[in-house]
Amino acid sequence: MAQTLQTSSSSSEPSDGRVVAIRGGVVDVAFSGAAPRIYARVQTEGITMEVASIVGDGVVRCIALGPVRGIGLGARARVDAAGIEVPVGEAVLGRMLNIFGDPLDGQSPPDAVERRPIHQSPPQLTDRLLRAEVMETGIKAIDLLSPIEKGGKTGLFGGAGVGKTVLLSELIHNTVEHHKGVSLFCGIGERSREAEELWREMGDAGVRDQMVMLFGQMNEAPGVRFLVGHSALTMAEYFRDDREQDVLLLIDNIFRFVQAGSEVSGLLGRMPSRVGYQPTLATELASLQERIASTRKGAITAIQAVYVPADDFTDPAAAHIFSHLSASVVLSRKRASEGLYPAVDPLASTSVMLTPNVVGQRHYDIARAVRRTLAEYEDLRDIIAMLGIEELSAHDRAVVARARRLERFLTQPFFTVDASAGTSGKLVPVADTLHGCEAILSQTSFDHPESAYYMIGPLSDLTGALA
């Protein structure tokens, strides 16, 4: 089991302190004796805080994990050197909790047998285990072009309004029901409406009893949004290391973790770095991401929604998150505007699993052929716009016909939006996806119009399609 991180300024226990400064969500507390440890828990006026830095002369700077409007200068503060802890164990299953493990579902607090600090070290390199195994999602565009690694980290990248949360909800629907281990959802900086909807949907699907939901919502203090991910990882590590179970961890949205860290960093008085981000961006992100790993006891498979500011994939937050992932599903605003949902960009999405040794030679060849056909079509778009498709050669017209049908075949009706869209969701096995793409790639003329391929499941849904 990973060991707790602790940084101590002195071996003697600190005495009670007094609040000497308040800056937004950051509070300075002065102690007459030794300063408390980094990550120590400080209580004042009913507000919980965590020690973030030691200023000197017995003064520590704390991140407030609640509204500071109730705190006054000179308020008395008490220290709990153990730090912030959350309950772990079977009792948290089926519950909606906050950063401290307190209930948000209106029920009594979980009767947990143990509480653990939220700050833990990642597994040792010698304890890690690499698994070349793919997790099937039933979503054609992802399974074909960006297969998810079981025990790896997958990012759903996209700007505002391109469908990240809907795609994550569909992944939850398709994978949680068939997942044999424990599922854990961590909402960072999300809307309360989305939390309530997810809670209700998971109950209706009958999978809530094997799922834990943690939320640090949009209206809460930046310290809560910054630390709730660590609370979720502590619970996930318990099921992986102690219960030796596989864990499916879903995070929405990891960018809000970076954003909260930037808020906290500014309040702590650190000099901002590139594009205004905190200078500790890489370290803070790594401290969270490196805890998501597979060991000999079990695996944590993480699927993370990632907001991309202004659709700029060179943004430091997006670039740093990219470096931790084994699969990247990039959502395109252009495809979303054309109504091609899920708006997965087939040329930008990647996965380390898409190799012949892992997915097989046939899958690899079909995926490459699909990408090549779509890339050729992309190059021909300008010519078509200027001169019309009639000016293309017969070969190029066949490429365009195949590409446009592939684009529409890779769309899919989702279970999570079937009520609002008036459609019935489809879950498509990988074998059917490969068969459909292979059939389209092999043809030069088609009996059905492009629109017939739009929002269907397997190719057998197409009336008169080849078996």
Catalytic residues: 164, 190-191
Which tokens hold the place of 177?
A: 């029901």
Q: What are 368's strand-pairing partners?
A: none
3-state helix, strand, coil in the chain (%, to 5): 40, 20, 40
Phi then psi dihedrals of residue 114, to 5 deg: -150, 150
What is the rounded distance in angstroms from the CA atom of residue 201 to the CA atom of residue 176?
Answer: 12
Do the beta carbons of residue 354 and residue 143 sit within 8 Å? Answer: no
Q: Give the Cα-Cα-Cα angle 114, 119, 122 (nearest 5 degrees).
A: 105
Beta strand ranges found along 190-234 (DSSP E) = 211-216
The residue type of 317 is: A
Do the beta carbons of residue 19 and residue 27 sit within 8 Å? Answer: yes
Which tokens hold the place of 120?
A: 């833990």
What is the rounded distance in angstroms from the CA atom of residue 140 to the CA atom of residue 43?
Answer: 50
DSSP 17: E
